[in-house]
Structures are given as C-alpha cells and as structure tokens.
Amino acid sequence: MKNGGTTGDKNRPGLSGEMTMILWILGLSAAYAVALNGTMVMPVVVLSISKLAGYDEATATIIASAELAGIALYGIFLPKLAIRSWKAVAIGGLLAVLIGEAASFWLQAPLPLAAARLATGLGEGAIFSLVCISLASLANAERLWGALSLIGGSTMGTLLFIVSLMPHQEAAAPVFLLLAGFTAVLAPLFLFITTRSSSLPVATAHSRLDKGRTSLAMIVVFLVYAVQAGQWAVCGYVGEQVGLSSGEVGFYLAVSSLVGIFGAVVPSFIQDKAKRLPAVLSGFIIMAASVYFLFNRLTPQIFITTQVFVNIGFYIITPFVTGILTENDPDGSLMSRTLVVAIVGATVGTALAGPVFSAYEASVFAWSCLVPLAVAALCGSAVFGHLHKSRPIAAVAKVAE
C-alpha cells in the first residue's frame, strides 16, 4: 500500500468517493495545523517563555528555537519512518506534542524547558511527515496544498487570533495549555487520513524536475520564507513608528494572517496547468508591492493593508512551489526536507531583519526584501516556465495503485 500504509476507500464501502476525499482533506488539514501551529505562534511562545520563567527575550528566543530544531532534526533524519509504521508515528507525534506543550507550562529551568520545546518540535516534524507521505507523487498537488493551506491555515490563524487576545503580561497566562488543547481537539481528525482513495491520479512525466530545477524550487522556498519572516520580525517596530500600540500591532497581525490565508484559494481552484506560472508571478508581485509600500508609506492604514496582502501573496506562491516538489517526491522525504529549508530561511530572515532595520532606513530594508523576492521570482519562472514548455498537448495521467 502506498503512502505510509493508509487505508484506501475500497475498505470503506459506506463512503462515497466525494465524501472520502472531503474527509481525507479534513484529516490532512488537521495534521497540517498541528504540525505548523508552533511556527505561526512562535512570537507568542517566546513571550510566554519570558513571562513564565522570567527570562530575557534573547534567552527565551534560544529556548523557543529548540522547537524549530526538533522539526528540522526529524525532517533530516527520520522523514521516511512513517512508511514503516504510520500508526506508531501518528501516536508518537501527537503524544510528543501534547506532553511537550503541557510540560512547557510547568517547567522553569532552561534545559528542561528547552527539552520540552525540542520534544514538541520532534512531534510536529513527525506529524508533518504524515502529510508529506500521504501527498507524495500525487498529481495536481498544488490544489491539495492550497486546500490544506486554506483549511489548516485558517485554523491556525484563528488560534493565533485567540492567543493574541490572551493576557500575556500575566505570568500564569496558559498559552502552552491552549496549544496542547488545540492539538487534543484536532487529534481525532487524524483518523480521516486513513480514508485516502486508492484511485487518486499520480503525477505524470511532464511534471518531473531535474536536480537543477528542484534546487531552484528549494531556493524559492528559502527566499520566500526568509522575506516573510524578516518583514514579520520588524512589524512591531514599524507599528510603533506609525503610532500603534504593541497590543494593536499583535491584533492587526493576527487578523492579517487570518485574512491573508485566503490567497490559498488561487492554487486550490486553478485547474489549468498553463496558469501556474502567471499565478506564481502574481503572488510575487503582490508580495513585492506590499513590502515596498509597507516600508515607504508609513501610515496605520498602509501597515494593516499591506500585511494582509503580503500574506495573500505568500499563500498564492507557496502551494504552487510545494505542489511541484510534491509531484516529484516519491516517499514524502523531499517535502520533509523542504520544511527544513523553509525553517532555515525563516530563521535567517528573522536573524538578519533586526540588524538591517536598525542600521538603515526603512526604505533600505524594503530593498533588502525586494531583491530576494526578485531572485525567487526568476527561479520560479525557470521552474514553472520549463514545465509549461515541456507539457504535452495531451497528458495521460496514471492512476495510483
């Protein structure tokens, strides 16, 4: 059985094909949300660690980064483990996240607290590998990733919105307990991943990328995540410059993240492969224009509007890129490594953003984001332009065994 031993719909005669697909997408979206929610609420995690344990921001950031290290370690060394035992990885991943989140609320010493965040990250990496294995080699993967971004991303955006309203100044603010509860609520939906149809079409030869273009797609992932994380990292400073309080900045960022996720509607509904390149380029244009105006027109209205559109552009681009990588991924390991690339990109972008923003004018910082976006757009054009040229007039899709 392909894709980690998940059960096909032929073992569930009571379900229609359409309902099977809906339940499968719902299960994958739940796994997607649990696996990536930590990365979305990372600023809140850092703040919670500093409040709960009394650490300064630098120490809290180092401790919180253990979660990202856990995700990366799993993606590098254990991406294929779920092929051997899907159930064991699912249960182990969920337990690691639940225990890690709960322990993070109670632990105070730096090493145990970092160990709890590391365990959480390992569990999130394991859960993400379930998604990757389930989608590996499927045709029209950008539509599937778009659906996951839309449903799972909306769920994460709602979580971020709720967390942003919590009283973080209180030492007992139960952020980690809320994250544990979030995982526990979504965990039963993981069972729907086993409803995967056995007749989903797999990617055809025209979707194949050579090593060079696969590397270009990885560069796109790295640069897009670096820019997104970098501009996000300095949004607090920009918000203060336009007269918003820290609470207002957090609220507007949460709202913009939630609304911006609807950019994933574009890859979810595009069926014509020839439209992938124009759609990806439109996403880059939206991101670039938003970044330019954000740092060159410093007003509260521009701040709020551009954050929405930065997220819209981001969620247009990423499902297409992860989709084509998924179509070239035989066992899910490539996409697990892609998540590692995304995390490294976000880490680099965050690390560089503060010094650059502090040392130079806002307009210079804007160009430090626009240049990487331009490079990413060129790389994306090389990838999707090649696929468009190589696409046969009549492509015959194989069917998964």
pLDDT in tens, 132-155: 999 999 999 999 999 999 999 999
Query: Which is nearest to 167 in space by CA: 51, 60, 249?
Result: 51
pLDDT in tens, 207-232: 889 999 999 999 999 999 999 999 98
CATH number for region 2-399: 1.20.1250.20
Would you list the domain boundaries of the chain?
Answer: 2-399
Query: DSSP letters along 219-283, please?
Result: HHHHHHHHHHHHHHHTHHHHHHHTT--HHHHHHHHHHHHHHHGGGGHHHHH---GGGHHHHHHHH
Cβ-contact 81, 89 below 8 angstroms: yes
d(CA 16, CA 193): 15
Query: Which is nearest to 148 in space by CA: 64, 46, 36, 256?
Result: 36
Give the pLDDT confidence score for residue 5 in this predicted structure: 47
pTM: 0.90
DSSP secondary structure code for residue 138 in this structure: B
pLDDT in tens, 29-86: 999 999 999 888 887 888 788 777 778 877 888 898 899 999 999 999 999 999 998 9
Mean pLDDT of the chain: 88
d(CA 221, CA 141): 16
Give the pLDDT confidence score for residue 168 in this predicted structure: 56
Task: Identify the bridge partners of residue 202 per DSSP, sorted by sequence position.
Answer: 138, 398
